């Protein structure tokens, strides 16, 4: 039997954070707007298309951006709002799409394969886009193609505020005139290496003997050549809010000491947050679970602004714990779970101090990777019970697992 024709739609909100700011302050509409940190030490989180015309882009030092576009309006950003809009768009897509993946906070893949028996994939996708725009008032673009890679590049070409359908069979032709750095993974260095080989466009790449690419660049050269032919087979991974990273501790003796339970809770939250960062994910939901010796089990969860940071997760975990815990009652098991996971392709930070903190976490995580995960802990977790020990003495079981439904 022949494989069914694949149809993959890729959606991505246009200048997402800026678009949200424009909704909150319509006087920003049509202007050069930059969301980012301080003028002297910050970086650009994102900017409007008007500012992009001057060469401003994400991750650029704010100083450079202001030189390129001195009249730009600088906005510091309101992160809670971005999470709220991200969820709203997710809900609209989830209500309609047979199978979708949330690839980042503003980006989605939808697999429509097999649906062409029931409806025209392009018309359906246009309808979904119209619904998102009508409801949220946010501009969004999409690419529709026979695979994820081509669909994503089509979205890029359609932006801002447009869409592009690459008909099955036209993938190679669509890609041919584009520069090679349209492929994700072709950074500055690779771009120059390819240029040195006389390869500028994807057509140049597709016409280069694959053996030569392998010889010069290695296995990645073969991958690039395949991409240049429009070939890409990766699947759309279904998005489940229930997908989670969690850890649980069953205590050897039941614990009624609130201080100790809290220090355990902090330690466990740090542990799952570390795994979250290793996985390059953000979380939008945290849950705490308590089991008493009679096996009564209670848990409580709350949605939060998307984050990867201990200092944002820990206070929420503590708050949930206090709401949940019946004071003085011995506890048999404590658990922490992070869910509503999404990728963060975010290099630059949302805010100045966030960047510093993210770098700090990266530094801590690097040390953890090198010297073992229990070596570095924040002050709170190093109390009389745990100081000097690799694990708290009460803990007999501690397991970290991923739940991928
Ligand atoms: P993108 O989708 O990469 O960028 P964008 O939506 O601003 O613009 P467009 O898609 O039209 O090209 O990222 C989505 C949001 O993620 C972006 O609005 C801000 C945030 N972000 C960062 O915080 N740091 C970054 O380095 C990048 C690239 C994005
Ligand atoms: Mg976007």
Give me the pLDDT at residue 393, please.
27
Predicted confidence at residue 378, as pLDDT, reads 46
Cα 399 to ligand 2 centre (Å): 36
Ligand 1 in reach of 48 Cβ (< 6 A): no
CATH code, 1-168? 3.30.70.270
Measured by CA distance, the residue closest to atom 15 of ligand 1 is 16
Residue nearest to atom 11 of ligand 1 (CA): 14
Does 260 have pLDDT greater than 90? yes
Q: How many CA atoms lie within 13 A of 223 on its CB side?
A: 11
For residue 14 and ligand 1, the question of a CB distance below 6 A is answered with yes
Q: Checking DSSP bridges between strand 297-307 and strand 44-47, what pairing results, if any?
A: unpaired
Q: Which residue has the higher pLDDT, 365 or 125?
A: 125
Neighbouring residues of the ion ligand 2, judged by CB less than 5 Å: 12-13, 16, 106
Q: Which ligand is nearest to the CA of 350?
A: 1
Cis-peptide, bond into residue 160, ω within 30° of zero: yes
Lowest mean pLDDT of 70-79, 213-222, 348-357, name the range.
348-357
Per-residue pLDDT of 56-115, as tens digits, reads 999 999 999 999 999 999 999 887 899 999 999 999 999 999 899 999 999 999 999 988
Segment 180-209 shows an average pLDDT of 94
- Taking the centre of ligand 1 as the mean of its atom positions, its distance from the CA of residue 18, in whole angstroms, is 9
Q: How far is ligand 1, taken at its centre, from the CA of residue 347, in Å? A: 9
DSSP string covering 267-333, please?
HHHHHHHHHHHHTTEEEEEEEEEEE-TT--EEEEEEEEEEE--HHHHHHHHHHHHHHH--TT--EEE
pLDDT tens digits for range 130-153: 999 999 999 999 999 999 999 999
Q: What is the mean pLDDT of the chain?
A: 87
Residue % of the chain over a pLDDT of 70: 84
Which residue has a Cα nearest atom 10 of ligand 1? 14
* CA 337 to centroid of ligand 1, rounded, Å: 27
Residue 137: CA count within 13 A, CB half-sphere? 9
Q: Does 59 sit in the ligand 1 pocket, CB within 6 Å?
A: yes
Q: Ligand 1: which of 11, 32, 46 to mutate, judged by most atoms within 8 Å of the beta carbon?
A: 46
Q: Is the pLDDT of residue 233 over 60?
A: yes
pLDDT, one tens digit per residue, over 264-291 is 999 999 999 999 988 888 899 999 999 9
| Catalytic residue IDs | 107
The arithmetic mean of pLDDT across residues 200-214, rounded, is: 96
Task: Tell me, using a 6 A CB cutoff, whether residue 355 lines ligand 1.
Answer: no
Burial class (CB in 10 A: 0-12, 13-18, 19+), 330: middle
What integer pLDDT is reported at residue 240 of this predicted model? Answer: 75
Say yes or no to pLDDT of 345 above 60: no
Q: Do domains 1-168 and 242-404 have the same CATH topology?
A: no
CA dihedral 176, 177, 181, 182 (to 10 degrees): -80
pLDDT of residue 33: 98
Instruction: Find the ligand nearest to 344 CA.
Output: 1
Q: Which atom of ligand 1 is nearest to the CA of 47?
A: 7
- Whole-number Å distance, alpha carbon 76 to ligand 2 midpoint, is 18
CB 89 less than 6 A from any atom of ligand 1 = no
**Rounded to 5 degrees, what are φ and ψ at 102?**
-95, 105
**pLDDT for 402 beyond 50:** no
Distance CA 73, CA 54 (A): 13
Is 70 exceeded by the pLDDT of residue 195? yes
Among the atoms of ligand 1, which is closest to the Cα of residue 104?
Answer: 14
CA 15 to ligand 1 center in whole angstroms: 6
User: What percentage of the chain has pLDDT greater than the value 90?
Assistant: 72
| 253-261 average pLDDT score | 93
Atom of ligand 1 nearest to the CA of 106: 14
Q: Is the CB of 16 under 6 A from ligand 1?
A: yes
**CATH 1.10.150.20 matches 174-228:** yes
pLDDT tens digits, one per residue of 162-194: 999 999 999 999 999 999 999 988 999 999 999
- Does 13 sit in the ligand 1 pocket, CB within 6 Å? yes
Does this model's pTM top 0.85? My answer is no
Domain ranges of the chain: 1-168, 174-228, 242-404
Q: What is the pLDDT of residue 19?
A: 98
Binding site membership of 12 for ligand 1 (Cβ less than 6 Å) = yes
Whole-number pLDDT of residue 281: 87
Does 258 have pLDDT greater than 80? yes
Q: What CATH code is assigned to 242-404?
A: 3.30.1490.100
pLDDT digits (tens, 9 = 90+) for 291-317: 999 999 999 999 999 898 999 999 999
Query: Given pLDDT bands bounded at 50, 70 and 90, which one contains residue 242?
Result: low
């Amino acid at each position: 039997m022949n494989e069914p024709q694949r149809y993959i739609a890729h959606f991505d909100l246009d200048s997402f954070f800026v678009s949200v700011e424009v909704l909150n302050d319509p006087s920003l509409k049509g202007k050069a707007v930059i969301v980012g940190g301080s003028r002297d030490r910050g970086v650009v989180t994102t900017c409007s298309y008007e500012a992009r015309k001057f060469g401003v882009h994400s991750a650029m030092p704010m100083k450079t951006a202001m030189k390129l576009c001195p009249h730009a309006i600088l906005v510091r950003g309101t992160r809670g709002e971005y999470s709220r809009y991200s969820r709203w768009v997710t809900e609209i897509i989830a209500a309609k799409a047979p199978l979708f993946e949330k690839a980042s906070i503003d980006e989605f893949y939808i697999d429509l394969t097999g649906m062409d028996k029931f409806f025209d994939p392009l018309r359906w996708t246009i309808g979904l886009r119209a619904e998102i725009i009508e409801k949220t008032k946010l501009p969004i673009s999409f690419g529709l193609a026979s695979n994820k890679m081509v669909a994503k590049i089509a979205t890029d070409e359609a932006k801002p505020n447009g869409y592009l359908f690459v008909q099955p069979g036209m993938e190679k032709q669509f890609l041919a005139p584009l520069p090679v750095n349209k492929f994700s993974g072709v950074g500055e260095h690779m771009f120059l290496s390819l240029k040195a080989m006389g390869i500028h466009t994807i057509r140049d790449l597709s016409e280069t003997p694959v053996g030569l690419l392998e010889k010069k660049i290695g296995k990645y050269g073969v991958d690039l050549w395949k991409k240049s032919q429009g070939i890409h087979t990766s699947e759309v991974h279904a998005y489940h809010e229930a997908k989670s990273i969690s850890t649980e501790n069953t205590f050897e003796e039941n614990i009624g000491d609130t201080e100790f339970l809290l220090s355990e809770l902090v330690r466990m939250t740090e542990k799952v947050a570390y795994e979250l960062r290793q996985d390059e994910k953000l979380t939008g939901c945290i849950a705490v679970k308590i089991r008493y010796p009679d096996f009564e089990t209670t848990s409580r969860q709350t949605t939060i602004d998307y984050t990867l940071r201990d200092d944002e997760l820990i206070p929420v975990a503590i708050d949930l714990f206090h709401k949940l815990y019946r004071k003085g009652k011995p506890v048999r098991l404590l658990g922490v779970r992070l869910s509503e996971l999404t990728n963060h392709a975010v290099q630059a930070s949302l805010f100045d101090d966030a960047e510093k903190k993210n770098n700090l976490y990266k530094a801590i995580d690097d040390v953890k990777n090198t010297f073992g995960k229990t070596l570095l802990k924040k002050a709170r977790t190093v109390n009389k019970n745990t100081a000097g020990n690799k694990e708290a003495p009460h803990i007999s079981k501690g397991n970290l697992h991923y739940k991928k439904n």
